[in-house]
Amino acid sequence: MADNILQGRKILLGVSGSIAAYKAATLVRLLVKAGAQVKVIMTPAAEAFITPLTLATLSKNEVMVQISNHNSWNNHVELGRWADVMLIAPASANTIAKMANGLCDNLLLAAYLSATCPVMFAPAMDEDMWHHPATRSNVDKLLSYGHQQIPVATGELASGLFGEGRMAEPEDIVKWLEQHFIAATANKPLSGKTAIVTAGPTIEHIDPVRYITNHSSGKMGIAIANALADAGAAVKLVLGPTNQSTTHPGVTTFAVQTAQEMFDQVTSLYPQANLVVAAAAVADYRPANIADKKIKKGQAQLHIDLEKTPDILRYLGEHKAHQLLIGFSLETDNEKEYALKKLKDKNLDMIVMNSLADAGAGFNYDTNKVTLFSKNGDGRSLPLKSKLEVARDIVSAIIDLQHA
């Protein structure tokens, strides 16, 4: 990473009303130290947490709060066009809601609606607010606009609780900005391409307490998502329930639980995608009927009727237009036979085969051993490697397919 990647970059920092606003002082100091030009807009509510004078001193620019004062008018259109990036940190639940719905009752929001540059936001709120369906919907809207969300951290919250919702630390936000500008300036083979990656398991509910799932950790899919982003792609990671995650600024994560939710999310993103890597371990079956109350222990045997889940890969293969489609085949026997059949039946361009019979491969390991089969059936076996290295090999093969 270039030491001066932020040198001369113009950052418009929006600070909203959150206790995390105190971190804006450190963030501004770090950005200025890295050579960035920083202008700060505060919402009126943010003044209760940190003074404009503090941020003006650190940024060496006047801090703007009101659209106008007694002497001048702060031109929000000019501010929106001045910046290379608009960063809202902290982004409170209130400000996120207003951004998502186009409300414009302060200077920060006026500048946001006028911004012609990339927009990033670093949420900050209590855990219950962060997980509220309204907040999730608003965040999803901002992501659909092409904005980048800097992931929230887990830790002690202002309420005294411990959980998700903390604003990312200033040092991590600076890294996001650095990665953004590296990706924007580098001549990368997948620049301009949009990739969908599925990763992790799905869960299929039996009752409010129990569910069916598998051992997938999501490590392989996340490694592929990161490798695709490193190659310049804008990556949409559709991630099943797992404790694994990514903070790569080129990856936007969509969290899902069930096969149906994964199907719905992937198919909604598919028309705009250039390529799909389906690395998730999607459940093939789900309970036909989900009990609305916990099933009590009673009879010696319990029978659960199962029905097929949506076949995501088959749907994508049947509706493929311009996309490259890469699937995975994890087998325990007759590996090559089953992989080649899946490659053909689901209209894939490449399939990644691995076997649970290989030591160090499969679920939960940090390593994997795969064979890549192209559409004509030619295979290339790779030795046992770290999943990061395997991901890079897969992405290299995808780049070759792009130019084939």
Q: Which tokens go with 79? A: 């501010």
Burial of 230 from C-beta contacts in 10 A (0-12 / 13-18 / 19+): buried
Say which residue the tokens 């209130």 belong to.
94
Among residues 61, 94, 214, 347, the one annotated as catalytic is 214
DSSP at 388: H
Q: Residues 6 or more apart from 250 whose CB is under 8 A from it?
A: 179, 183, 228, 229, 230, 232, 233, 234, 235
Give Rg (Cα) of the chain: 24
Torsion, Cα of 353, 247, 198, 374 (10° steps):
-40
Which residues make up each annotated binding site for CTP?
284, 294, 310-313, 328, 342, 346
- Secondary structure (DSSP) of 114-176: H--S-EEEEE---HHHHHSHHHHHHHHHHHHTTPEEPPPEEEE-TTS-EEEEEPPPHHHHHHH
Sheet-wide strand order for 379-381: 251-255, 234-239, 194-199, 275-278, 324-331, 350-355, 371-374, 379-381
CB of 394 closer than 8 Å to CB of 369: no
Going by C-alpha positions, the residue among 347, 329, 351 that lies closest to residue 338 is 329
**Paired residues of 85 in beta bridges:** 11
In three-state secondary structure terms, 213 is coil
What are 178's two structure tokens?
């650095």
Q: Is 187 a catalytic residue?
A: no
The CA distance from 148 to 250, in Å, is 8
Contact 257, 240 (CB under 8 A): yes
The type of residue at 199 is A
Enzyme catalytic residues = 214
